[in-house]
């Protein structure tokens, strides 16, 4: 079983839609969870991170962690074409060691 599972998509939505991106993880000891965004021909950039369970909101983005079901989500409200990118979930597997999902490719069309 992979440590972090993520549906690679692609996911195509119309502009203005609410997007839900999800990952599951296997190790209940993981405490830190991140979402990275990667535009084409660029490196990943940190979008949000959360510690343990709960929600964190930043503008149109909300990160959610449910430790009981080992499920992490990223919601994007009022999606824009500029949100088109690959979204990578990641969790911390120890000092300086991030474990990534495969990434979900999102396309937001006007």
By the criterion CB under 8 A, which residues form the site for another protein? 2, 4, 6, 8, 31-32, 36, 41-46, 49, 51, 88, 92, 94-103
Length of the chain: 110
Q: Which of 46, 76, 45, 44 is nearest to 62 (CA)?
A: 76
DSSP code of residue 83: G
Nearer to another protein by Cβ, of 8 and 16: the residue is 8
Nearer to another protein by Cβ, of 4 and 19: the residue is 4
Q: Which two tokens stand for residue 1?
A: 């079983």
To another protein, the closest distance from the beta carbon of 16 in angstroms equals: 28
Q: Which two tokens stand for residue 103?
A: 């990434």
To another protein, the closest distance from the beta carbon of 101 in angstroms equals: 6
């Amino acid at each position: 079983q992979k440590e972090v599972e993520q549906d690679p998509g692609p996911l195509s939505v119309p502009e203005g839609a609410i997007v839900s991106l999800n990952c599951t993880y296997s190790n209940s000891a993981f405490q830190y969870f991140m979402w990275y965004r990667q535009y084409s021909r660029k490196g990943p950039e940190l979008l949000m991170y959360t510690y343990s369970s709960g929600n964190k909101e930043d503008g149109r983005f909300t990160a959610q962690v449910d430790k009981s079901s080992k499920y992490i989500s990223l919601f994007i409200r009022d999606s824009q074409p500029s949100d088109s990118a690959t979204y990578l979930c990641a969790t911390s597997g120890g000092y300086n060691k991030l474990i990534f999902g495969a990434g979900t490719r999102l396309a937001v069309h006007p």
